[in-house]
Structure 1
């Protein structure tokens, strides 16, 4: 029987969660910068509008005041094709956030749910970068090697490449890099970003065009449905904007998260993207069948 395929970076659903009022309390963690709750909510609504313009059905979850970071839904699951791995966030106070995400993914969207069984594992979704060909997992503050191994077990058809982040101050791997196109990885050219860039260049099993951007914040973006969502021109250096103008040919959408970012929130952290098919399909992006056979292995963790 022939297996039907779907394409990486094609999505039809997005899960988001409203910003709770308790989020404003995170200003104490943001170097004393006070967070304007209403401004943060406005930014979140603007992002939802942009997602709708990208042909996505929006599943909007009610905010939970017990979880200040509940709007950062990306950390709660890793979703590739019809499989969702429920994470175990590195901060214990956030681990309860996964309950509602699990329910929606399992009961409403009918995805295959994978759980983390190793009690020592920690994993934040923001540390997982799926390139369409392989998976990079950042090992650092919130994700450990056992968490990376859980990713490898949940998605055995892809090579999992650990990226060690101890020498950086980044909260997540995707704070410094993200997909900017089918074979394009945007990476910050800061000292921390350069450390990540070197590991990706050395460890990647496939070739990518690396898009170097001066700002850490500019390097986090969302590529979906042939479009690129990034922060506004006012929120990034002019040189970053010039690089995007020169290198990115896909349609682009800009949206501000100036207020949300005071709590180290990134664009991608606010969204969980899903490609919900009518029947289970094998996810193959740019690989031919012989390539899949060749690379259907798990890279050994250090």
Structure 2
């Protein structure tokens, strides 16, 4: 458990600021809800300050107007400690986002344990949002964005951890269905489809966890950071889950509004790529 907990402790996070093109051109299922750009930028600033308050050094990247989804940096890579697999996002319009992340990890942070999706398997796709890492194992969403070849490459990159594929059917990513609140608490559920997916995660787990079921989709996505748990406001996640979260999760709650990102199918985990550059000293 100590090893698992240390892998949900972070020293650094990469975030990317929001381009003007985000409101009109970010990929999303429902385009009827207008995104308030300034409000979204304020929410991201609060998110960044909360990461810093948890002891995380934040590297802030400039936006790219030609990449409207670039603020969702989690999809560009999967990191365990300081080992990173650079992803190949499933939607072609997002693949150029990886370049800035690669440059940051290599040149700004000086990481050397970087792994690429192989050139000889160009059909392999992997979104970081489809990867639920518990600190002890991976659950990988098999979705429109992540396929079996992407799962295999992730498994080869992190061979010391069990990897289980989970079909997420009509959901965008597995982290729309389940996330880690602490090293041993998994929050999941939502609508009927999400509940079925969450049940598959429960039955496939190689290790014991405390599973907390959520009735509404909005509350599922939380973010564990250095003995804190980031969560959305009571208005966004509902009174019942808000109470459950505060009562059952033994981590310091950090509440923030993320309404504008939700309109673009985004959530708390999406907006940072988190690393622990001291992890190998902890093992």
TM-score by length of 1: 0.88
| Distance change (3 Å), C-alpha of 1:5 and 1:36 | closer
Match of 1:259, SS state, is helix
Distance of 2:226 and 2:26 partners within structure 1: 34
Q: Are 1:55 and 2:55 matched, yes or no?
A: yes
Q: 1:276 to 1:144 in 2, by over 3 A?
A: same
Q: CA deviation at 1:6?
A: 8.8
Distance 1:244 1:76 in 2: 29
Judge conservation of contact 2:15–2:273 (CA < 8 Å) in 1. Answer: yes
**Equivalent of 1:143 in 124, 143, 146:** 146
Contact (CA 8 Å) 1:5, 1:281: kept in 2 or not? no
The SS at the match of 1:234 is helix
Residue equivalent to 1:43: 43
Rg: which structure is higher? Answer: 1
CA distance in 1, matches of 2:12, 2:204: 32
Unaligned runs of 5+ in 1: 285-302
Q: Which runs of 4+ in 1 moved over 2 A?
A: 26-31
Q: TM-score, normalised by structure 2?
A: 0.93
Equivalent residue, structure 1, for 2:91? 91
Q: What is the root-mean-square deviation of aligned Cα atoms in Å?
A: 1.8
Instruction: Number of aligned residue pairs: give it.
Output: 277
- What's the CA shift string for 1:109-167, capped at 9, x where partnerless? 2321011112110000000011011011000110000010111011011111100112x
Distance 1:5 1:144 in 2: 26
Moved more, 266-275 or 27-36: 27-36
Structure 1 residues 282 and 155, CA gap change in structure 2 (3 angstroms): farther
1:132 maps to 135
Which position in structure 2 is the counterpart of 1:190? Answer: 191
SS at match of 1:148: helix
Matched residue, 1:77 = 77
